[in-house]
Amino acid sequence: MTDTRRFLPPGHCTRPRRPLLHHFDQNAPVRISAKADYAVRAAIELAASPEGRPVNAERIATAQGIPVNFLENILGELRHAGIVRSQRGAEGGFRLARAADRISIADVIRAVEGPLATVRGGPPEESSYPGPAADLPRVWIAVRKSLRSVVERVTVADVAGGRLPRAVVKLSEDPEAWVTR
């Protein structure tokens, strides 16, 4: 089951809105899954840990409002992908496997979801369509490039430290970005 996060501009109504980022699978609407959202939030929580100290799953789950069992599975996937490492014992928990400024949001999403954008389960460059739809793969490739231009540019350190890249802030400040269509 895919849950999506709702994004609202600061100071605007609290009416739920559709998510801003998408993935292409079976030509479905683009969505950020709960799993990807939770994984990114967990990585950000670890990036904010003082001096990179290990943080246990229960603490991350409580701080971010994530179901602990779901989070433990996600942390296992992040560990397998080399994003986090675990430490056992009384002082145990999870910590980032490399510097937070070297882990992009895209790295975390790919670790739990796979490629950022697919068309019918494959890469957009492998799609082809007959007749007047022949150029459609270029659209899907441009969408992937656009998505990458944000999530590959932003690191978990950027978010944890409240220092988003100016280009990302500028995109999010455009009133048109907040309009659901």
pLDDT one-digit tens code per residue, 87-132: 998 888 999 999 999 999 999 999 999 999 889 889 999 999 999 9
How high is the pLDDT of residue 66? 97
- Residue 52, pLDDT score: 75
Q: What is the pLDDT of residue 181?
A: 86
| pLDDT-flagged residues of the chain (< 70) | 1-30
What is the pLDDT at residue 8?
37
Question: Long-range CB contacts (< 8 A, 24+ apart) of 110-116?
Answer: 110/81, 111/39, 111/77, 111/78, 111/80, 111/81, 111/83, 112/35, 112/36, 112/39, 112/74, 112/77, 112/78, 112/81, 113/23, 113/33, 113/35, 113/36, 116/23, 116/144, 116/147, 116/148, 116/151
What's the pLDDT at 121?
A: 87
For the segment(s) 34-178, the CATH number from 3.30.200.20, 1.10.10.1100, 1.10.10.10, 3.40.50.300 is 1.10.10.10
